Chain A
Amino acid sequence: EPEVTQTPSHQVTQMGQEVILRCVPISNHLYFYWYRQILGQKVEFLVSFYNNEISEKSEIFDDQFSVERPDGSNFTLKIRSTKLEDSAMYFCASRNRDSGANVLTFGAGSRLTVL
């Protein structure tokens, strides 16, 4: 069964450092997403991406965050200058046009720890 693949599984970084989290969505999917989950809290929407541009973003997704689809397979989330409160599990998700708006396929997540 096709999977969304995320790397790294866990990254530890110092406050103020840049972090790039990588995702390989399912190959025929057209819509891409990043969500995050702070330990013990809800899964929160960050950003959606379609047709090579951001289609929607949340208040969390400020100018410290950016997304990119540098080639036909990767989808990245960059945090320019990490803060302690960025520590969370970051989930990438994708969907195709036919599966319906509610059916996202999530990756296993990248745990980010900011010290």
Chain B
Amino acid sequence: GESVGLHLPTLSVQEGDNSIINCAYSNSASDYFIWYKQESGKGPQFIIDIRSNMDKRQGQRVTVLLNKTVKHLSLQIAATQPGDSAVYFCAENRAGGYNKLIFGAGTRLAVHP
């Protein structure tokens, strides 16, 4: 289940540092924005979502920020751990449908000890 991408942007961080992964979206009509994580050999795994009428939502060690003015979404991971190493995808969803998640290009997060 690898999502190995020859040209995936990569973010390299030191263990314990904070990570910020960014995503630009195009559809202003999306009602939800979501972050998924894909570890090597596995399928995508839900991390956190945010409704379009919010600008910030916090989870456990993660925060999602939404800037609708510039159509920008970010995922902040506090105190990054080696287990956070994965490819991270942003996705959009429009309420009222049957969950056709539209995924963006991934970003590889590499955590170094």
Contact = CB atoms under 8 A, between A and B. Distances in A.
A37 B95 CA distance: 24
A91 B42 CA distance: 10
B80 to A, nearest CB: 23
Contacts of B43: 4, 91, 93, 106-109
Given A40-B6, A40-B7, A106 B102 contact: no
Contacts, number: 80
Interface of A is mostly: strand
Given A40-B5, A43-B44, A108-B41, A31 B98 contact: yes
A13 B65 CA distance: 44
Given A42-B104, A107-B43, A89 B98 contact: no
A65 interface: no
Given A40-B5, A101-B32, A31 B42 contact: no
Instruction: Identify whether the interface residues of B are mostly helix, strand, loop, or mixed.
Output: loop
21 contacts: A37-B3, A39-B4, A40-B5, A40-B8, A42-B104, A43-B44, A43-B89, A45-B103, A89-B2, A95-B99, A101-B99, A102-B32, A103-B49, A104-B44, A104-B46, A106-B43, A107-B1, A108-B1, A108-B41, A109-B1, A109-B43
A50 B103 contact: no
Given A40-B7, A102-B93, A91 B99 contact: no
B105 interface: yes
Contacts of B101: 35, 45, 102, 104
Interface string A103-115: 1111111010000
A102 B104 contact: no
Given A42-B105, A43-B44, A108-B42, A102 B1 contact: no
A44 interface: yes
B34 interface: yes
Given A43-B44, A107-B1, 13 more contacts: A35-B103, A40-B4, A40-B7, A40-B8, A42-B89, A42-B105, A45-B100, A50-B98, A56-B100, A91-B1, A95-B99, A101-B99, A106-B42
Contact of A91 (B44, B95, B102): B44
